Amino acid sequence: MTHCTPPVWPCCPSSSRRPTRFVEQLAAAGAELQTDMALDLVIAHRTDAERALLRRLSAYRTPVPIEGIVKLGLDLPEPRRLLDGLLAVSLIEQREAPDLLAREYQCPATVADWLARQPGGGLEANWLGVAADFQLYLFRTARQTFDQAVAVHEALRAAGRRDEADRWVLDRVVGPMNRAGLYAACSRIGCRRSASRSSPRPGPRRWVRLAINISISATTRSRSAICKTRSPSGRRSVIARARA
């Protein structure tokens, strides 16, 4: 008669942590499953119109004012009322936007990820295009900041408008970086990477990525030099301008 000996973990420091790591991963998987089940239950009790609006709002990767919400729900009945229903069950987050003198809204990352994983979860190109157009409008009329410029670039890329996105970065990031004295740093990094990989100088798209990476890591002083913001006394609410 043979006896089965239980497995023994090797007595080395790295392997001794494996059971603990496994338990942690199991707990994380359990929490994610519980979140998915909760979202499935809550979203299933929403109306068709509310679910449609929620799905479209995942096109915005940054918070937007009410005008951006309505823009994606013009074909739906009373998009403001639909938004209230989504807010009531925390499927949409809201916060104050002092620079706009208004509230702004966003689909939480957890909800957006859940929506993307559902069958047919991908958004139609036209809604991504509408979201990109509104981000452009917001930059040109109310929020001429570095962060909004990056939001425009991400929205254009998500909508498949890569050439327009690249031109936007070259016009709104690389040029101001050059004036702020940061383009030399971008050039040095690009040349070092090219030399280390024994490849030609970076192409236009790599310059765009380098510009974004360096700009995001710029200091507050550099950001203020790149993007001039309006004084609080000169700001007007997006809603106020829409009503004017």
**CATH topology classification for 38-143:** Arc Repressor Mutant, subunit A (1.10.10)
Phi, psi of 106 (to 5 degrees): -155, 145
Between 118 and 21, the more confident residue is: 118
DSSP category for residue 76: S
Which pTM does this prediction carry?
Answer: 0.64
Dump pLDDT digits (tens) for 130-163: 999 999 999 999 998 888 988 999 999 999 999 9
Give a three-class secondary structure readout of 36-83.
HHHHHHHHHCCCHHHHHHHHHHCCCCCCEEHHHHHHCCCCCCCHHHHH
Dump pLDDT digits (tens) for 16-46: 555 677 567 656 667 777 788 888 888 999 9
Question: CB 157: neighbour CB atoms within 10 A?
Answer: 18
The number of residues in the chain equals 244
**pLDDT score at 202:** 44
**pLDDT score at 184:** 53
| The pLDDT of residue 234 is above 90 | no
Calpha distance 221→180 (Å, rounded) = 10
Encoding tokens for residue 238? 């997006």
Dump pLDDT digits (tens) for 70-111: 999 999 999 999 999 999 999 999 999 999 899 999 999 999
CA atoms within 13 A on the CB side of 195: 6
**pLDDT score at 17:** 56
Least confident window among 125-129, 143-147, 152-156, 171-175: 171-175
**pLDDT score at 146:** 83
Q: Is residue 120 very low, low, confident or very high in pLDDT (cuts 50, 70, 90)?
A: confident
Q: Where are the domains of the chain?
A: 38-143, 145-228
Phi, psi of 143 (to 5 degrees): -135, 75
**pLDDT score at 39:** 85
Do residues 147 and 171 make contact, with C-beta atoms less than 8 angstroms apart? no
Dump pLDDT digits (tens) for 178-228: 655 555 555 554 444 444 444 444 444 555 555 555 454 443 444 444 444
